[in-house]
Amino acid sequence: MNRRRMMLVTAALAAAAAGAAAWLLLRPASAPLARVRFAVVAGEPLRYDPGVFHWRSGKELVRAGQAIADGQAVRFRGRAELRLAPGHRGKTVVYFPYAVRPQAAGSVRVAIVLERQGRETPLRTFSASRKLEHYYAARLDLERGDAIRLRAEGAGFLVAGRAVVTPPAAPGDRPYIFVLAPDNVRGDLMAPDNGPGAPLPAVQAFARDAACFENAVAPTPWTLPSFASLFSGQYEFRHQVTKSSPLSPDKPHLLAGIAPRCPVIQFNDDVWLSAKMGLARHHDGFFTSARTQDVYADRMLFANARAFIESAPFPALFMFLHTYKAHAPYEPGAEFRSRLPRGCRESVWPPIHGAQFDPRPSEGERQEMRALYGAEVEQLDHHIGGFLSWLKEAGLYDRSLIVLTSDHGEEFDEHGGWFHGHSLYRELHHVPLYIKFPGGRHAGRRLRDTVSVVDVLPTVLDQLGIEVPAGIDGVSLLPLLRGEPARPRVVACSAAVSVFEPHIPPRFSLFTGPYHLIYNLPATQQDPGYYAQHGRPADRPTIELFDMRSDPGERREISRLQPGIVASLRPEIDRILREVSKRRRAPQSQVFDEEREALKTLGYL
């Protein structure tokens, strides 16, 4: 065989193997996955209002934590009943989310029963004296004509989402996709070799199995618009999600390409990641914790994920996991404080909240906050490691695609600020990004190219052989991993439309090669009271430019020394300024009482 023919054969075999791998990851089950709606048997049906992402009974909004848009909801006094006809025979996994909300101070009795030939078998019974959001999932042996009934007695509201009905996973099957997205994690603290940070054995072991993108950029420096970018594949100045403007239905949501292949489930700790912000589209379950800032929120998150997987052995699954661990207040569990300096407090807020440090923290206080934050990241590593170990024990790890990333970093006075949301320097824009592919592909790779969190889901779609939608900013990272020549690209990070506070000047930044350009716009509001509490934003030149090769800490501004770089980015600057000028105006979205309390707990109100 001549050399040219051998190269062609090798390329064909490689392409076939890659295609087979993508097909294997989410191949069709022996019978198709079905999504089935409940029928209303008893109760007053409610109408889903897509404008506010909740059910409506007259003028009253009924919150359903799972964002059950394609389900059924009833208001009842006395009795409510919803009926599901699975339509499957034999061994079947049945899953559906539900929400129960008693009226006033009453209690509601709920029963889930299997109906077969006129006889009923209880599957689950319970009482609820306050709002309850949960799911039912089980492996059942069904016969023709079987039905599942969801009943409630008392007075209140009952909501049930579409049921997912599918054959169970075959032995050795269950190729899953996990996106682990802990909040507020700096890229330098979760690097494979994290320098002065505490050892992170779980992340460092995971790095040996994954491709590590060492210069991953967050789309924005705070949570809501950053996750809106992850799900939409668009930068903040394009999707324009703000505290009062949810993700518009005409904007892309990249899970639309994955949902036809498998159930899509999310567990999160964040009120910003809520149904009313438009992020829950294309989910079969969207569960937000009521214990947002528990000291062990990360442990509870992974316990919930494990319990779900054990109860619902789907042939394939996409699961998104978010925890607020590592977010302020910095409060690690007792067992993770052992290496902290003597005299270190158990919990502390950074100074943006309440001016508890006046006029500014001392070096000792800065070190204390940094140490507590580091201990939180160490705790997070421990619980991530426990979840990954369980995936291995369950036989799910090798065949799964697992992403580990974050929404933004955290500042500890590197540029005169604290917390996040206020600037675009490296301590806030640099986040971890690891992608572990099935079968050990690309294991141990470390790439220094600048990439973005908006690239995560396009990469997942490409891996699955699903076309990446046009009109988004994210790109698949597979060509980069295959060693194909990199296309010229400018990566962006911004807080130009969705500013964290209206008193913080809007800004955006651009990355090209080793250069990072920040474009600062003037503040839109002046509030002496706000400045008295949090400090006046530092005056910045309109354009700042840094060379991240020679100045990774971004201390030396060089725009006057590199006018050619600035000029080459001028068309992109002008394009973004035009996008910012199109800022949407939307009515203030309703904040529910429990969301308001969670926002206060996290320091947002």
Which tens digits make up the pLDDT trace of 354-371?
Answer: 333 445 678 888 888 888
The pLDDT value given to residue 9: 39
What does the alpha-carbon distance between residue 12 and residue 565 come to, in Å, rounded to a whole number? 41
Q: Residues 234-245: what's their mean pLDDT?
A: 91
Confidence of residue 334 (pLDDT cuts 50, 70, 90): confident
Q: Mean of the pLDDT values across residues 332-353?
A: 79
Q: Which of 23-32, 109-118, 241-250 has the highest mean pLDDT?
A: 109-118
Tallying the residues shown for the chain, one arrives at 605
Residue 207 has pLDDT above 80, yes or no: yes
- Half-sphere exposure at residue 560, Cβ-oriented, CA atoms within 13 angstroms: 3
Residue 358 is predicted with a pLDDT of 46
Within 513-571, strands assigned E span 515-520, 543-547
Q: Which residue type is seen at 293?
A: Q
The arithmetic mean of pLDDT across residues 175-201, rounded, is 85
Locate 155 and state its tokens: 């007075």
**Residues with Cβ within 8 Å of residue 85, at least 6 apart in sequence:** 36, 39, 146, 147
Q: What is the pLDDT of residue 365?
A: 83
Nearest to 506 by CA among 421, 409, 420, 603: 421
pLDDT at position 595 is: 53
Check residue 226 and give its pLDDT.
96
Instruction: Give me the long-range contacts of 598-605 (CB less than 8 A, separation at least 24).
Output: 598/271, 598/292, 598/293, 599/271, 601/292, 601/293, 602/271, 602/292, 602/293, 602/324, 602/327, 602/328, 603/328, 603/329, 603/349, 603/352, 603/353, 603/419
Cα–Cα distance, 347 to 379 (Å, whole number): 14
Unique residue bearing structure tokens 């050619």: 564
Give exposure, 31-68, as e/b (b: 16+ Cβ within 10 Å): eebebbbbebeebeebebeeebbbbeeeeebbbbbbbb
20 falls in which pLDDT band (50, 70, 90)?
A: very low
Start-end of CATH 3.40.720.10 domains in the chain = 176-486
CATH class of 176-486: alpha beta
Looking at the predicted structure, is the pLDDT value of residue 517 above 90?
Answer: yes
Structure token pair of residue 581: 């000028």
Q: Which residue has the higher pLDDT, 133 or 500?
A: 133
Question: For all residues of the chain together, what is the average pLDDT?
Answer: 85
Q: What is the mean pLDDT of residues 68-91?
A: 91
Q: DSSP letter string over 295-353?
A: TTHHHHHHHHHHHHHHH---SSEEEEE---TTSSSB---GGG-TTSPTT--S-B--TTT
> What local confidence, expressed as pLDDT, does residue 584 receive?
52
pLDDT score for 588: 44
Which pLDDT does position 604 carry in this prediction?
52
The helix (run of H) or strand (run of E) holding residue 374 is helix 363-393
pLDDT of residue 357: 40
For residue 19, the model assigns a pLDDT of 41
- Summarize pLDDT for 400-458 with one digit per residue, the tens: 999 999 999 999 888 887 888 888 999 999 999 999 999 999 999 999 999 999 999 99
Based on its alpha-carbon atoms, the radius of gyration of the chain, rounded to whole angstroms, reads: 25
**Helices 201-209 & 363-393, crossing angle to 10 degrees?**
50
Q: Which two tokens stand for residue 433?
A: 């990004």
Check pLDDT > 90 for residue 489: yes
- At residue 6, the pLDDT reads 45
CATH top-level class for 34-166?
A: mainly beta
φ/ψ (deg, to 5) at 274: -115, 165
Cβ-proximal residues to 595 (8 Å cutoff; 6+ apart), any chain: 271, 274
Whole-number pLDDT of residue 603: 52
Prediction pTM value: 0.90
